[in-house]
């Protein structure tokens, strides 16, 4: 159990650094799996402790009933004292184990909080990556438009359309139907337009 907790804690410690967006998902998943395994171990341990408490209580009750009436009062007192001492030891053991469970619950809560923080960080990193990717694509598209003089018309989604501008005020519109014309044909025609505009 201690090694599982140590493993989960080590994984959490590794993820405190800013992560690469592609590695982040795998690391958060590894943390979730390690934490899940730790939680399962602790749940089994807690159930085992509760079973032990029930068994000790049952044994105590049976022992009390098993004392024969023929014993002297002094023997009965001694037997009850022994049973009381055993019960106190069991109660002390229960309190110790309950304290340990309380500490483990606090660790579980801390791990859950850390996982939530990592999930938020992952979402932020993915959002930032998307924004950076979109900005890079816009920048690249603007560069192509500047170099080729090709401007796209985005309102006609079923057609490939826009215009080509060039030297000496050259301006020519284009509009192709991708269902009737091949991508090769469209590309050839656009390159011809760009060639004319650059003359």
pLDDT of 158-175, one tens digit each? Answer: 888 898 988 778 888 889
My answer on whether 114 and 163 are in the same domain is no
Furthest-apart CA atoms within the chain: distance in Å: 124
If you average pLDDT over residues 70-84, what whole number do you get? 79
pLDDT score of 182 more than 90: yes
My answer on whether 132 and 158 are in the same domain is no
My answer on whether 97 and 185 are in the same domain is no
Q: Which tens digit of pLDDT belongs to each residue from 128-156? A: 888 888 788 878 878 888 888 888 887 87
Whether residue 37 contacts residue 4, with contact meaning beta carbons closer than 8 Å, is answered with yes
Range of the domain at 154: 149-198
Confidence of residue 18 (pLDDT cuts 50, 70, 90): very low
Sequential DSSP letters for 84-122: HHHHHHHHHHHHHHHHHHHHHHHHHHHHHHHHHHHHHHH
Which candidate, 144, 162, 142, places its Cα nearest to that of 152?
162
My answer on whether 112 and 22 are in the same domain is yes
My answer on whether 190 and 100 are in the same domain is no
My answer on whether 137 and 181 are in the same domain is no
Does the predicted TM-score (pTM) go above 0.75? Answer: no
Alpha helices of the chain — where are they, by DSSP H? 2-14, 21-66, 73-148, 183-198
Whether residue 34 contacts residue 8, with contact meaning beta carbons closer than 8 Å, is answered with yes
My answer on whether 136 and 174 are in the same domain is no
My answer on whether 130 and 158 are in the same domain is no
Q: What is the number of domains present in the chain?
A: 2
- pLDDT, averaged across the chain: 79
């Amino acid at each position: 159990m201690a090694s599982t907790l140590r493993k989960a804690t080590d994984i959490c410690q590794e993820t405190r650094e800013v992560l690469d967006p592609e590695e982040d998902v795998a690391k958060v998943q590894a943390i979730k799996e390690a934490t899940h395994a730790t939680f399962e171990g602790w749940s089994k341990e807690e159930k085992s402790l509760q079973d032990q408490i029930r068994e000790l209580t049952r044994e105590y009750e049976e022992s009390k009933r098993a004392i024969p009436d023929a014993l002297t009062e002094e023997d009965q007192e001694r037997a009850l004292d022994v049973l009381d001492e055993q019960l106190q030891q069991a109660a002390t053991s229960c309190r110790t184990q309950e304290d340990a469970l309380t500490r483990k619950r606090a660790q579980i809560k801390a791990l859950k909080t850390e996982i939530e923080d990592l999930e938020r960080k992952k979402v932020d990193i993915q959002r930032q990556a998307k924004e950076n990717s979109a900005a890079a694509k816009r920048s690249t598209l603007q560069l192509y438009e500047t170099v080729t003089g090709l401007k796209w018309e985005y309102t006609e989604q079923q057609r490939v359309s826009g215009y080509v501008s060039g030297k000496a005020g050259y301006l020519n519109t284009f509009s192709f139907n991708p269902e009737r014309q091949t991508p090769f044909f469209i590309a050839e025609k656009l390159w011809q337009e760009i060639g004319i505009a650059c003359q």
